[in-house]
Structure 1
Amino acid sequence: MERISSPLDEPNEIGKPRSEVADGCSPCEHEAIEAARALMLSTLRYGLSIEAVASSVQMSKRHFLRLFKRATGTTPHNWRLGEKVRCSQLDLLNGDLSLTQIAHRYGFADHAHYTRVFRQIVGTCPSAWRSQAARGSAPTWIARFEVLELLAEYQDSNPEV
């Protein structure tokens, strides 16, 4: 029996099927990863288990972890940590909440855990970053690609987190 081809199976300019992108994920898989990222962002403050996120995009946990890492370059856990820190910077700029309140707001165990993760990602502790930002000498927002790079370094140096 002859296989029916799809336009996505035809090679593109560089000879790869159009259904494949640079990271090897199909457009459907990218949509699933984007849906998972949106879900994780909407639940940053209380978090969902990786199993629940994987289930929400109809994937097994193992397949989701592999696919997420292939598509984003980092694990879902590290991506979520980076987003927590990035979003917490807005609360630091606002200045209404204590560091302990911010830590609990984003699901960190305590002030020390929040400070440790923040320092690994941003390069300084949250209180120093807040002071620098109040003086106008700290960046008000860290870029996502910087978060991913710093998270990879953090994971390498702290495998237990």
Structure 2
Amino acid sequence: MVRISDRHIKSPAGPTTDGFGCPLKQLSINQALAGSDIAVFRKATSVMRLDQVKTSASDRGFVVGVSSLGGHTRRIYHQHHATNHDFTENSIYIRNLSEGYKADLSGPFDFLLLEISPASLIRIAEGAELPGVTSLAAETASKDIVLANLCRALTPALEKPEEASALFVDQMATAIGTYLVQRYGGRSIAASNRSRSLSRSHEQLAKSLLLENLDGNISISEVAKVCNLSRGYFIRAFRETTGMTPYQWLLSERVNRARELLRASNAPLAEVAIACGFADQSHFTRVFSSIAGLTPGNWRRNS
């Protein structure tokens, strides 16, 4: 799992704002992760009135913001007028970073931000079988519960990056990117009856690669490339073939291996956790309990 430092604007006195114009001194949460073609950030503050946010036009692509709080308002300044917007829980915005931005922000906020470069957007669209999508439609304070729920799944990875596998972050970034180009890319989705399942050889190859990287530190891109498939197609085909996403399948395999070790040895739980690709015993216990219905210790005693 790769954690990335937040981009910021430099001044002679050092960084004062992040890459989206937010004053760093007023942010209570400032987290970041690198996903497949998408940089993920979480920004939050309890300050009622922030310094004015202002960014210059750039070639960085698009930023998508998803609000997990209500009560935040923005007055956005356009060339000849200004508009006022109220953000509720699960409301979003989509902004083209090639356009300058200036806004007055009021009220606490907690946003998950997705930054997508122009080249990444093209790759995401091609993987979603929507070639030709090169932009996302602008949105401001509109509600999108589906996108909010997808993004919410990344919150634990932002809070505990040491427990987040590259496979999980990559898989979620692919799912989010696919949804964005389908919903906001301006292209209709053609129905297809084409089989989405993996061939037997691709299924065996993908599973072998995943098992060789039991800790999940292999990207969807790497596995899909070996199978000569796009990321989006690979995830859909893997799910149709196995009934699970690659990350869900790997978690299940980790727990199966843990069961074998718990049954056949007296190794400490911490050692079993590491041997099965978990970050530590606490991480192991949470995942094992959610799948097996018992803690590893109780499961060993009962078995």
Normalised to the residue count of structure 2, the TM-score between the two structures is 0.34
Q: Aligned in 2, Cα 1:115/1:123: closer, same or farther, shift over 3 Å?
A: same
CA contact 2:196–2:236 (8 Å) conserved in 1: no
Q: Residue 122 of structure 1: CA displacement? A: 0.9
* Greater displacement, 83-92 / 56-65: 56-65
**Structure number having the greater helix percentage:** 1
Q: Name the SS of the counterpart of 2:278 in structure 1.
A: coil
User: Paired residue for 1:40?
Assistant: 210
Equivalent in the alignment of 1:24:
195
What SS does structure 1 have at the residue aligned with 2:279?
Answer: coil
The answer to whether the aligner puts 1:80 opposite 2:257 as a matched pair is no
Q: Which runs of 5+ in 2 are unaligned?
A: 1-193
Helix, strand or coil at the partner of 1:38: helix
How many angstroms does 1:87 deviate by?
0.9
What is the identity, as a one-letter code, of the residue corresponding to 1:95?
S
Q: 1-side partners of 2:253 and 2:217: how far apart? A: 12
Distance 1:96 1:29 in 2: 40
Q: Report how many aligned residue pairs link the two structures.
A: 110
Report if aligned partners of 2:196, 2:233 keep a CA contact under 8 Å in 1. Answer: no
Instruction: Report the Cα offset of residue 112 of structure 1.
Output: 1.3
Q: Distance in 1 between matches of 2:259 and 2:265?
A: 10
User: Structure 1: any 5+ residue segments left out of the alignment?
Assistant: 1-22, 134-161
Task: Tell me the residue number matched to 1:69.
Answer: 239
Percent identity over the alignment?
35
Change (3 A) 1:115 1:90: same
Of 269, 273, 278 in structure 2, the residue corresponding to residue 99 of structure 1 is 269
What code does the residue aligned with 1:41 have? L
Aligned to 2:284: 114
- Residue type of the alignment partner of 2:248: N
Instruction: For 1:49-60, list aligned pairs within 5 A.
Output: 49-60=219-230
Aligned to 1:156: none
Structure with larger RCO (C-alpha < 8 A, sep 6+)? 1
Letter in 1 for 2:276: Y
Structure 1 SS opposite 2:199: helix
Higher strand share: 2
Contact 1:54 1:60 in 2 (8 A): yes
Determine if contact 1:30/1:71 at 8 Å carries over to the other structure. no
